[in-house]
Amino acid sequence: VERYLQNIAAKRHLNAFLEVFEEEALRQAEEVDAKIQAGTAGKLAGMVIGIKDVLAYEGHTLQAASQILNGFQSLYTATAVQRLLQEDAIIIGRQNCDEFAMGGSNENSSFGPALNDVDNTRVPGGSSGGSAVAVQADLCLASIGSDTGGSVRQPAAYCGVVGMKPTYSRISRYGLIAYASSFDQIGVMTHSVEDAALLLEVMAGADEFDATVSQRPVPAYSQNLSFDRPARIGFISDSFDSPGLNAEVKTAVQGVLDQLKAEGHTVEPVEFPFLDYIVPTYYILTTAEASSNLGRYDGVKYGFRSENSTDLASMYKKTRSEGFGKEVQRRIMLGTFVLSADYYDAYYTKAQQVRRLIKEKTDELLSQYDFLIVPTTPTTAFKIGENTKDPLAMYLEDIYTVQANLAGIPAISLPIGHDAAGLPIGVQVMTKAFGEEQLFAFSKQLM
Ligand code: GLN
C-alpha cells in the first residue's frame, strides 16, 4: 500500500484517482497482515485495488464523475466490492471516469480527463479511463470498472493492460450506478489474465439484491487456466475492411492470427454482416435506457440541487441543466427522442429488433467457433481534444467493442504490442455466454 501511495503521489498529474483512501487503505493493510500471520487471510489478501467512481462503497463519496452527485455518499456497498473486501482485498481509492460512464476518452469527466501514462497528451480511453491508467502506471494492482459498450476493454487496449467484461448477468449490478441496464456489466483491469480470473471468480455469482443476476455456479476460473487443445477461431474479416482501422493495429492483430495458426489452431475468416448497424443500434438503445435511468437525478433525492430555482419545475430544470455535463445531456435528449410516442417504433422498436439479429448472428458464429477475434479498437490512444468536437467520430471508436454488450457475451482485451510511437495495441477475444473459463484459459496461452 505504501508503495502504491508513493506512486500515486508521484503521478498526480495523470488524474487517475478522484480520491485516495490513504489512511483507510493503510489500516486495511495492517488488518490483512494480521490475518496473514494468523493464517486466516482471504483469497485476495494483499491485492490493492482501485474502483471506478460508479461503484458504491458505504460511507464513501460516489459521484460518477458528475456534479449532479456532488456531496453524495453511498449508504451501502456494491455486492462486487463487498466480495472483494470479504476476501481481504484493499481498496485504495475511487477512480476518474467519463461522467456516468458515458464516453470513450475520460474527457467527459467533470474533474477533467485522466492522462495516458505513455504519452500525457493522449487519452487513456474511457469511460473507465482512470481505472486503466491506474493499472498502467502501477498506482494499484488491479481496477474494477464497468463496461456498457467497451468501457473496460477499450481503455485497457489504450493503456496496454488486460481488460475483461464477463457475460451479462455474471456479476451482480447491485451498487453499480446504472447507465444502460440491459448492457451494463462490471469488469476488471489487470496486468495478467490470472489476476482477472481470480477477481471475476470472487465477484461473480448469485446475489439476492439483483434480480437479473445469473444463478449459475461460478467456476474456479483461476484454477483452470490451462488450454491444451486446438481451438476453432473465427476472425471477423469485415473488421479489417472498416475505413477507420489504423494500419499498425491491423498488422498487430494479423500477427496474432498468424501466431495462432502456427500453433495449430484453426483460424478462419467469418463474415458478420451487421457491423455497420452495431454502433447506431447501441446508441439508440443505450441513450433510451440512460434517459430513463437518469430521471432519478432531479435535485430531490441525491447530491446537488440548484440554488437558482424558484419553484418545483425550475428546480428540476436548473438542477439537471447545471448538474449534468454536455454529453450526458445530449444522451438524455437523444434517448427521450427515440422513446417519444411518434418515433418509438421507428427507432427504439427497430433497434431492439436489430439487437436481436446481432445477438442471433453472434450466437450462431459462436456455435461454430470457440472464439471470435477482432481488434479491440480501430486506433491507438488519440490526442486529448482530437474527437471532442465530433461525437460521431467518438462513437465510432466503439465499433468493435459494443457487439459483446449487444449480445451479452464475455469479451477480453489483451495487450499485443505497440505502434511505432510506443502506444499500446489490444486484441479482443469473444466467446459464448458463460464461456469465461475457456476465455481465460485461451487468453493466458495467447499472452
Ligand atoms: N464509449 C461507449 C459509450 O460512450 C461505452 C461506454 C461504456 O461502456 N460505459 O457509451
- Here the ipTM equals 0.97
- Supply the pLDDT for residue 242: 84
Contact 260/267 with Cβ under 8 angstroms?
A: yes
Shortest-distance Cα residue to atom 4 of ligand 1: 103
| Helix, strand, or coil (residue 446) | helix
CA-327 nearest atom, ligand 1: 4
- Supply the pLDDT for residue 243: 83
Our answer to whether residue 110 is catalytic in this structure is: no
Residue of 398, 401, 406, 428 to mutate, ligand 1, most atoms within 8 A of C-beta: 398
Strand arrangement, sheet containing 371-375 = 17-20, 90-95, 48-52, 142-147, 185-190, 162-165, 411-418, 424-430, 371-375, 232-236, 266-270
CB count in 10 Å sphere of residue 37: 9
What's the 363 CA to ligand 1 centre distance in angstroms?
A: 22
Question: Is the shortest distance between the CB of 104 and ligand 1 below 6 Å?
Answer: yes
CB count in 10 Å sphere of residue 323: 24
H or E segment and range at residue 92: strand 90-95
What's the 150 CA to ligand 1 centre distance in angstroms?
A: 6
Bridge partners (DSSP) of residue 95 are 17, 52
Our answer to whether residue 127 is catalytic in this structure is: yes
User: Where are the chain's structural domains?
Assistant: 2-223
Measuring CA to CA, which residue among 386, 256, 235, 302 is closest to residue 63?
A: 302
What's the 102 CA to ligand 1 centre distance in angstroms?
A: 5
What's the 82 CA to ligand 1 centre distance in angstroms?
A: 25
Bridge partners (DSSP) of residue 142 are 49
Fold topology of 2-223: Amidase signature (AS) enzymes (3.90.1300)
Q: Which residues of 348-374 are buried (b: 16+ CB within 10 A; e: fewer)?
A: bebbeebbeebbebbeebbeebbbbbb
The active-site residue, picked from 105, 146, 151, 239, is 151
Indicate the length of the chain as a whole number: 447
Measuring CA to CA, which residue among 123, 209, 194, 193 is closest to residue 159?
A: 123
What's the 310 CA to ligand 1 centre distance in angstroms?
A: 35
| Angle value at C-alpha 317, between 97 and 390, nearest 5 degrees | 45
**d(C-alpha 338, C-alpha 348), whole Å:** 6
Beta strand 48-52 with 90-95 is parallel
The active-site residue, picked from 127, 146, 214, 239, is 127
CB count in 10 Å sphere of residue 244: 12
Shortest-distance Cα residue to atom 10 of ligand 1: 102
**d(C-alpha 295, C-alpha 328), whole Å:** 12
CA-282 nearest atom, ligand 1: 10
Question: Hey, what amino acid is at 138?
Answer: D
**d(C-alpha 72, C-alpha 60), whole Å:** 8
What's the 57 CA to ligand 1 centre distance in angstroms?
A: 22
C-alpha cell, 203: 465477484
Question: Is the shortest distance between the CB of 110 and ligand 1 below 6 Å?
Answer: no
Question: Is the shortest distance between the CB of 103 and ligand 1 below 6 Å?
Answer: yes
Which residue blocks in 295-343 are alpha helix, DSSP H?
312-323, 326-338
The active-site residue, picked from 11, 52, 432, 444, is 52
Contact 189/132 with Cβ under 8 angstroms?
A: yes
Question: Is the shortest distance between the CB of 398 and ligand 1 below 6 Å?
Answer: yes
CB-based contacts of 147, cutoff 8 Å, min separation 6: 128, 153, 163, 165, 184, 185, 186, 187, 401, 405
Our answer to whether residue 143 is catalytic in this structure is: no
What's the 283 CA to ligand 1 centre distance in angstroms?
A: 9
CA-102 nearest atom, ligand 1: 4
CB-based contacts of 219, cutoff 8 Å, min separation 6: 201, 436, 437
Contact 285/355 with Cβ under 8 angstroms?
A: yes
The gap between the terminal CA atoms of the chain, to the nearest Å, is 27
pLDDT in tens, the chain (447 residues): 999 999 999 999 999 999 999 999 999 999 999 999 999 999 999 999 999 999 999 999 999 999 999 999 999 999 999 999 999 999 999 999 999 999 999 999 999 999 999 999 999 999 999 999 999 999 999 999 999 999 999 999 999 999 999 999 999 999 999 999 999 999 999 999 999 999 999 999 999 999 999 999 999 999 999 999 999 999 999 999 988 899 999 999 999 999 999 999 999 999 999 999 999 999 999 999 999 999 999 999 999 999 999 999 999 999 999 999 999 999 999 999 999 999 999 999 999 999 999 999 999 999 999 999 999 999 999 999 999 888 888 888 899 999 999 999 999 999 999 999 999 999 999 999 999 999 999 999 998
**d(C-alpha 248, C-alpha 397), whole Å:** 16
Question: Is the shortest distance between the CB of 283 and ligand 1 below 6 Å?
Answer: no
Question: Is the shortest distance between the CB of 129 and ligand 1 below 6 Å?
Answer: no
